[in-house]
Structure 1
Amino acid sequence: MCGIAGFSLFNYNEGGEKALHDMHHAILHRGPDASGTYLDEHIGLCHRRLSILDLSEAGNQPMFSADGNLVIVFNGEIYNFLELRESLAAQGVQFKSHTDTEVILELYAREGIQCLQKLNGMFAFALWDKTKQELFIARDRLGKKPLYYFSDNGRFAFGSEIKAILALQDIPRDIRLDAVYDFFAYQYVPDPKSIFQHIHKLPPAHYMVLNKDGFTITEYWDLSFKNTSRESEEHNKARLKALLEKVTKQRMISDVPLGAFLSGGVDSSGVVAMMAEASPTPVKTCTIGFDNKDFNEADFAREIAEKYNTEHHEFTVHQNVAEQLEHIVSFFDEPFADPSLVPTYFVSELARKAVTVALAGDGGDEMFAGYEKYTTDNIENKLRNKFPESVRKTLFPTLASLAGRVPGTVGKKAKSLLTTLSHDAAMGFYITNSMITDEMWNSLVKPDVAEKLQGYHPSHYTIDTYHKADGPDHLSKILYTDIKTYMTGDILVKVDRMSMANSLEVRAPILDYQVAEFAASLPSEQKYRDGEKKYLLKEVFKPFIPESLLYRKKMGFSTPLDEWFRGELKTLAETRFFDRKSGLTDIFNVSEFQKVWTEHQSKKSNFGIILWSMLMYDLWYKAYVAEKNE
């Protein structure tokens, strides 16, 4: 795991070695072990190294091909690099190191862009071809490693994080209002946008080719649900087990200490169980807990740790979140509000004291239908299909309005359900999962902002993705949507930033693209059966996890937001929300927002998630916009 950055000199002089130094200094946390730069008349590249494989200087980057024609900076891990290396060696390639980086170089030298089809891993890299005078930039299939780029008036720069790009001189920080709206709807800014007007994300499973004439972006892979397996359940169960064992072992290859995140949930427990089966020594495990028992999974994690005799480490998040929040937020270069970023930061910090690489259970919920929202959506969609579209579109909005007049949670829930059912399945999925209702947004946003956003709505991101899916049924379509949106835009961003903030590499076996393709091929009833989520995955893990844990209610990395805003975050929130320099004052009507704050404090309503999004936006704005303008 590392950090990369660079720029083009085709049309603009960025400032040479000093500019490269500023860029790689901005991402020092991603790779504290070594750094390097490359500069010629056309391109500048820089690299920060977190040493994982081949700890010698032979693994430092930028790295050159055997003939010196190719130069690469690479962030990530290629899990099948040993078999690729063996194949290349059989063709006569002589390697100078034992790294996966060199394998990419030599594979590209022989197969060009098609090398992407053979790479299995998490990666973002930039490869300069001196002969072609082309820069080839690519991201892995599911987006585990990030890549941002800046393009404006002939200038071009890229980096693992936006802060590397912002380290260059005169990079404009104009904020996109549509991205602000997206953020409050999703808690993140969806690709290919960023919060900044001229900075973009290279989407997962895409590559870019840049030369003196400009650049092109091409998708090289997508996840298909249309080829449904006709094999028996037992066959699929055996195949899934074998596949998970294989990909877990691949991710245990490391020249530095290795362990695992353990929440006590199905996915992380299953990964730890498979690691324990494959490891000759006790697995190092790390768990985060909370004082609030409703959000604390430490006891469940401890049960798994004891079962597999792991070297277990625990940390309890006490009442000190406010003290560290600004520091934690500084690692996100754009607004990000998934509250589980807090425990993810702390578990990464804890893990780094014992290991340099940690395996995690990410991906199980999206690949195998593990979220509670899939149950909710399943019920809603069955209800939706019982009524003609004409009835839903004409009668239900009126009924929703009437339900809204009923006091208490019953009225609110009825209004929400009727509103959702009045729309089609794609829009209904957006409404169910949006973090802010249209009604709330419209009541808070300033008139001039609303006018500038006229005609724009964040739902298009969900709807467009849903309709791109090729699955045979509704569940397949919403799983595809979550994998391409929520997982890549939220889950993987959170894990990358919070682990890299602590110079820790995180590997997720379930996120192997072969597991993703296999899961997509399973019939929906083998993923979600009679209300049981992750059905087949649980069948695989049943021999390894006690049934009391396997079938307990999912918690995930939850946080007590409603409580925090009436307690430990109250002072920080009040200080920031009502500061005249707050970034919120440009977007929201302060008097309307005051009503939300007062209602939450009085416990008439719980607005913790909205308040959290607002606090995250404001703290980001303070760090990346306000302080830079002073």
Structure 2
Amino acid sequence: MCGIVGLFHPHDPALPPRALVQRMADAIRHRGPDGEGFHLEPHLALGHRRLAIVDLAGGHQPMSSEDGEVTLCFNGEIYNHLALRPELEAAGHRFRTRSDTEAILLGWRQWGPGVLDRISGMFAFALWDRRRGELLLARDRLGEKPLHYAWLPDGTLAFGSEIAALTALPALPRRIDPVAVEDYLAFGYVPDPDCLWQGIRKLPAAHALLLRRGEAARPAPRRYWQAPRQAAPAPAEAPAELARRLEDAVRAQLMADVPLGAFLSGGVDSSAVVAHAARAKAGPLATFTIGFPGGADERPQAAETAARFGTEHHAEAGTTDYLGAAREQARLFGEPFGDHSAVPTLAVCALARKHVTVALSGDGGDEVFAGYRRYRFHRMAEGVRRLLPPGTRRQVFGTLARIYPKLDRAPRWLRAKATFTELSLDAALGYYRTVCKLGDGRRRGLFSPAQRAAVDGHDPAARIAALMAECDPDDGLLQAQYADLHSYLPGDILVKTDRTAMAVSLEVRPPLLDPALVAWGLALPAGLKLRGQVGKHVLRQALSPLLPESLLHGPKRGFADAIGGEFRRRGAEVKARLLGAPMLDSGLFDPAALARLAEEHESGRFDHAQALWQLLVLEGFLAGLAGAAPRAGRPPALVGA
């Protein structure tokens, strides 16, 4: 696991300044504390920070071919590199190291851009071919490893593993995109390919960007892999086939020349990974759990699984200060990030890093095998939608939604207003409402007149609708999963894991996101994934020989502590943050609306915990900018301001 940075000018053959690429690499030193490397030549500069995992002696980067014509800067792991070696050697290529990096390097020589179809793993890399005059930037199929880029005013392309590598450049325009602010408040993250900073782009998952020396146009990224958009016929013996595929995926991701362990909660996904890893690994597997007494505490369930498989188990009680943590999110993520489970995720990463350098996780199981509760509700809602003509449905449920009281603090079964509203909407808009963190009306009500004008005509729901429209219109479950696979998974789950893990120099690998396993699982018929009110049906069947019924069918718990109570107890501090100079000077919000939100939550009349967390994180981001901004402490201007 590493961090990469680079500068490329298609037209100017001057050597890029070494000081600039060094500055970029220093900004992401935490991604690779074991060493650094640089490669500079006309048009190009590459920088690398290394966290040594495989071939500790021979895997230094940037790595060049034997003749020096091709140079690679790589972040990630290629799990099938040993399988590719015989084919490449038979074609006449000679390996000089045991590193998986060299498989990409020689694979480019053999297959050109087709190397992306051959390699399997998590990766983001920059590959320079001097003879062809081509620079290839690429990101893995699911978006496990990040890659950001920006065109500087002088025509240079700058790229790096994290936003911090780009904001370290003095020439980068520092303006906030108001549309990205709205998307952040809607989703809790800024979806790919956008960024809160105008001009910075995120290379989407399963995309590559090919640039050529002397090329005038700025090319667009191209997709090189596509997730299934239609279900396939049910495979014979699906549970047994899934068990084999999962075992293979876990075994492949055990490769490491450093200590390796696994996260372990009380849930199905991490337990599945631990079960297979403990059986395949030579020696005891180290496992790690964080629990919150009185809150989300899965330590007893995790301890039971650890004892079952004889792991070397480490568990700690978590303590959190979410007001303090909100100020730290921008430092970790480079832009506001609204998933408060990032706080305990950082804690379990720090615990794991005391003992290992690599940890396996259960990320991806909910998206691939339909584990989220919202999938069950969406499928039920789709059944209701098909029973009634659209006009009748909108009228009946729309009327019920209008007259039913809003009971935010009532038991869940009494909170029917949102249900009626969603049933009155079409499928895509209804699903958008289930994933939206801060509803359209409440969100716009917080904005200043200038911010409302800046986002006029922008509809965050259109992103979800466009993704769902790419899928089989008769498979509502697959539509929802596909939308999450291209938005929530790469924008929230994998960002959270990558940044919190790399903040403590830990590599995290999710075997359930093996691309072949994802393609197979996503294409399963809906009845194998979701049966009645039980998600991940086929996964539970596949694991029944390994895991107890109490774990396989226990309640799903979120990996986070409750934040509403803390924000209520510390209401005065919350209000002071929201009405402080960073928020008010930004010109984004209506101060009276912010005050009202804080007061309603503190009084206990409403639960605004999620909205307050997102706003506090944004306040921390703006406060950090104000402290670092060169213009007398003023925050960056809005686009068009």
Partner Cα distance (1:570, 1:345) in 2 = 25
In structure 2, which of residues 475, 478, 496 is the aligned counterpart of residue 494 of structure 1? Answer: 496
* 3-state SS of paired residue (1:616): helix
Partner Cα distance (1:186, 1:583) in 2 = 23
* 3-state SS of paired residue (1:565): helix
Any conservation in 2 of the 1:583–1:622 contact (CA below 8 Å)? no
Stretch of structure 1 that moved more, 9-18 or 95-104? 9-18
Change (3 A) 1:109 1:512: same
Partner Cα distance (2:593, 2:262) in 1 = 45
The equivalent residue for 1:400 is 401
Q: Which amino acid aligns with 2:219?
A: F
CA offset at residue 407 of structure 1?
9.5
Deviations 1:228-276 (A, max 9, x none): 13433xx211111111111101111100000000012100011101011
Any conservation in 2 of the 1:403–1:412 contact (CA below 8 Å)? no
The equivalent residue for 1:287 is 289
Change (3 A) 1:70 1:36: same
2:167 paired with 1:163? no
* 3-state SS of paired residue (1:331): helix
Kindly report the root-mean-square deviation, in angstroms, between the aligned alpha carbons of the 2 structures: 1.9
2:225 paired with 1:221? yes
The equivalent residue for 1:432 is 434
Any conservation in 1 of the 2:15–2:44 contact (CA below 8 Å)? no
| Number of residue-to-residue matches in the alignment | 625
Partner Cα distance (1:407, 1:618) in 2 = 25
* 3-state SS of paired residue (1:226): coil
The equivalent residue for 2:366 is 365
The equivalent residue for 2:449 is 447
Structure 1's unaligned 5+ residue stretches are none
Matches within 5 A, 1:47-66: 47-56=48-57, 58-66=58-66
CA offset at residue 556 of structure 1?
3.0
Partner Cα distance (2:626, 2:392) in 1 = 48
Change (3 A) 1:46 1:583: farther
2:121 paired with 1:121? yes
| Identity, % of aligned positions | 39
Any conservation in 2 of the 1:52–1:256 contact (CA below 8 Å)? yes
Stretch of structure 1 that moved more, 405-414 or 317-326? 405-414
**TM-score where L is the length of structure 2:** 0.94
Partner Cα distance (1:545, 1:151) in 2 = 51
CA offset at residue 320 of structure 1?
4.1
Partner Cα distance (1:517, 1:415) in 2 = 36
* 3-state SS of paired residue (2:530): coil
Any conservation in 2 of the 1:224–1:470 contact (CA below 8 Å)? no
The equivalent residue for 2:35 is 34
2:86 paired with 1:82? no
In structure 2, which of residues 444, 455, 458 is the aligned counterpart of residue 456 of structure 1? Answer: 458
* 3-state SS of paired residue (1:32): coil
* 3-state SS of paired residue (1:464): helix
The equivalent residue for 2:638 is none
Any conservation in 2 of the 1:139–1:206 contact (CA below 8 Å)? yes
Partner Cα distance (1:152, 1:329) in 2 = 22
Change (3 A) 1:407 1:68: closer
CA offset at residue 586 of structure 1?
2.1
Stretch of structure 1 that moved more, 503-512 or 405-414? 405-414
Partner Cα distance (2:52, 2:329) in 1 = 24
* 3-state SS of paired residue (1:6): strand
Partner Cα distance (1:488, 1:94) in 2 = 36
The equivalent residue for 1:580 is 581
CA offset at residue 169 of structure 1?
1.9
Structure 2's unaligned 5+ residue stretches are 634-641
Any conservation in 2 of the 1:5–1:158 contact (CA below 8 Å)? yes
Q: Which amino acid aligns with 1:448?
A: A
Deviations 1:371-403 (A, max 9, x none): 111122222222222321112334543432222
Partner Cα distance (1:282, 1:572) in 2 = 46
Partner Cα distance (2:343, 2:222) in 1 = 35
* 3-state SS of paired residue (2:333): coil
Q: Which amino acid aligns with 2:531?
A: R
Q: Which amino acid aligns with 1:622?
A: A
Any conservation in 2 of the 1:123–1:139 contact (CA below 8 Å)? yes
Matches within 5 A, 1:103-502: 103-153=103-153, 154-211=155-212, 212-213=214-215, 214-232=218-236, 235-292=237-294, 294-404=295-405, 409=410, 413-470=415-472, 472-502=474-504
CA offset at residue 289 of structure 1?
0.6
Any conservation in 2 of the 1:59–1:99 contact (CA below 8 Å)? yes
CA offset at residue 441 of structure 1?
1.5
Change (3 A) 1:324 1:532: closer
Q: Which amino acid aligns with 2:278?
A: A
Q: Which amino acid aligns with 1:372?
A: R
Question: Structure 1: which 4+ aligned runs deviate by more than 6 Å?
Answer: 405-408
* 3-state SS of paired residue (1:556): coil
Stretch of structure 1 that moved more, 458-467 or 433-442? 433-442
In structure 2, which of residues 522, 525, 537 is the aligned counterpart of residue 523 of structure 1? Answer: 525
Partner Cα distance (2:320, 2:92) in 1 = 60
* 3-state SS of paired residue (1:222): coil
Partner Cα distance (2:406, 2:476) in 1 = 32
Stretch of structure 1 that moved more, 157-166 or 408-417? 408-417
CA offset at residue 176 of structure 1?
0.9
Any conservation in 2 of the 1:369–1:533 contact (CA below 8 Å)? yes
Any conservation in 1 of the 2:338–2:614 contact (CA below 8 Å)? yes
CA offset at residue 197 of structure 1?
1.0
Partner Cα distance (2:287, 2:409) in 1 = 44
Change (3 A) 1:625 1:138: farther
CA offset at residue 226 of structure 1?
2.1
Any conservation in 2 of the 1:39–1:45 contact (CA below 8 Å)? yes
Q: Which amino acid aligns with 1:219?
A: R
* 3-state SS of paired residue (1:93): coil
The equivalent residue for 1:100 is 100
CA offset at residue 321 of structure 1?
4.5
**TM-score where L is the length of structure 1:** 0.96
CA offset at residue 457 of structure 1?
1.2
* 3-state SS of paired residue (1:516): helix
Deviations 1:100-123 (A, max 9, x none): 101100010111000110110000
Partner Cα distance (2:303, 2:585) in 1 = 42
Partner Cα distance (1:555, 1:608) in 2 = 18
Change (3 A) 1:167 1:51: same
* 3-state SS of paired residue (1:392): helix
